[in-house]
Amino acid sequence: MAAVAAQNVTKIFGQGDSQVVALKDTQLSIEPGEIVALMGPSGSGKTTLLRALSLIDPPTTGQIAIDNQLVFDGERVLTDDRKLRRQRMGIIFQAYNLIPFLTSLENVALVLTLNGISHREAMTRASELFIRLDLGHRAGIYPATLSGGEQQRVAVARAVINDPAVILADEPTAALDTERGKAVMDLLRNLGRTRHAAVIVVTHDERMIEGFDRVYHMIDGRITSH
């Protein structure tokens, strides 16, 4: 049972002469608890693949299944993409993308409240996770006053709080120094394994790929090796 499966996924931007093929017949299958890295130069299609898998920007053709459910059949999205993301996905951004007007704890609890969990329970569960991630002392702080490493750890907490089947991370260490980057990557791997989630990390930093189960390489919209 694959947590994430992509078959013949193609993404084409534009039409006619200005047409750009960003993904070409991409195949991907990742099991629950598996931690994979997606590497490649800029413009190779890594982020496009993440957008396609999360249905933020669905592919042009191909099929995508998440948590063993077909969500894109080659023509149309078969589910409420936002519901899918808030219930079964966790997404981590290069620039952290914490909501600036929510405290770090509220940023994490927000995902639970979006899933219908009461504010009180969401805050309690987020607090417990913060303590486990050693972020308890930063709970009431707004993101703007956190360091980059702390912001990304909060972002990781936000991505895992709803026990997702899939965690997608887009260059999560790009804005961090090596030490903080590795700490975030370790955290991501540990949480992915303990929560039995498939983790796909887009990175182009060779130093960060230690401990991944598989590393995919992408060039010109194709996965060339793993």
Residue 79 Cβ vs another protein, minimum distance, rounded to whole Å: 12
Bridge partners (DSSP) listed for residue 29: 5
The reply to whether 54 sits near another protein by the rule CB under 8 A is: yes
Q: Site for another protein (CB under 8 A): which residue of 42, 76, 140, 179?
A: 42
CB 162 within 8 A of CB 149: no
Binders in 118-137 for another protein, by CB under 8 A: 119, 122
Please identify, using beta-carbon distances, which residue of 103 and 185 lies nearer to another protein: 103
Residue 158 Cβ vs another protein, minimum distance, rounded to whole Å: 7
The reply to whether 74 sits near another protein by the rule CB under 8 A is: no
Structure tokens at 145: 């006053």
Binding pattern for the stretch 85-124 against another protein, x by CB under 8 A and - elsewhere: xxx-x-x-xxx-x-xxxx---x--xxx-xx----x--x--
Please identify, using beta-carbon distances, which residue of 91 and 198 lies nearer to another protein: 91
CB 28 within 8 A of CB 4: yes
Count of Cβ atoms closer than 10 Å to residue 42 Cβ: 7
d(CA 107, CA 131): 15
Please identify, using beta-carbon distances, which residue of 80 and 210 lies nearer to another protein: 80
- Pairing, β 89-92 against β 69-72: unpaired
Please identify, using beta-carbon distances, which residue of 31 and 114 lies nearer to another protein: 114
CB 21 within 8 A of CB 186: no
The reply to whether 34 sits near another protein by the rule CB under 8 A is: no
Please compute, for residue 122, the number of CA atoms within 13 A of its CA located in the half-sphere on the CB side: 18
Taking alpha carbons only, the member of 222, 202, 221 closest to residue 212 is 202
CB 102 within 8 A of CB 110: yes
Binding pattern for the stretch 142-181 against another protein, x by CB under 8 A and - elsewhere: x---------------x-----------xx--x-------
Which DSSP string corresponds to 128-141?
HHHHHTT-GGGTTS
Identity of residue 196: H
Interacting residues toward another protein by CB under 8 A: 13, 20, 22, 42-43, 45-48, 50-51, 54, 56-57, 82-87, 89, 91, 93-95, 97, 99-102, 106, 109-111, 113-114, 119, 122, 142, 158, 170-171, 174, 202, 221
